[in-house]
Structure 1
Amino acid sequence: ISVWTTLAALLGGMLAADVVLGVTPAYFFAALPRAVAISNLWLALGKSMVFGLSIALIGCHYGLRVKPNTESLGQGTTASVVTAITVVLLVDAVFAVVFKNVGL
């Protein structure tokens, strides 16, 4: 999914550049490698895999602790979502610090 969203973002950027700035699609794709290093794309793909794995593991952790009643299900779901959001934010901050010079 990360690859598709990256491609959709690039196509959206190309369309916006064409409509607003008059930049042709051919020039957009010719100038893209000079503007965005390929290492940034690989980093984005790696981050999405780490985030997906983290969210899946957190969901499984809390899901396996749910008791057979609806109250426990609601509490487990809430705790899972809050924990996953917090972990993604923290891991993203670590990525930002560790890879701050990528693509420069």
Structure 2
Amino acid sequence: MAVTLLQNYNELKEKLAQHERVMLLKHSLTCPISSGAKQAYESYSSETETPMFMLNIQESREFSNQIAEAFGVKHESPQVLLFNRDKVTWNTSHWHIKEEALAKADQ
């Protein structure tokens, strides 16, 4: 599946209503660690049926803050969140964002 860019919190809420499980990458456009995480995330997207989304921190900082507040998960970047229905059931950040970690969490 392709990774789709989300622009705002309402789009995320729509995706959570449509799908049982959703993965989201909070990505920094200027961070080399985030660039590597994005590559792993996009590569993994071809191996899963879980819908995968992304937000660019610099373009959607308020959106990122809304996620942290609404779901009680401390903001980090890069960061991957796995949603089951309307709860974050797993998250990881920085160098831990690897295809193997995504696959294990997505089982």
TM-score range, shorter chain: under 0.3
- Normalising by structure 1, report the TM-score: 0.24
- Normalising by structure 2, report the TM-score: 0.24
More helix by share: 1
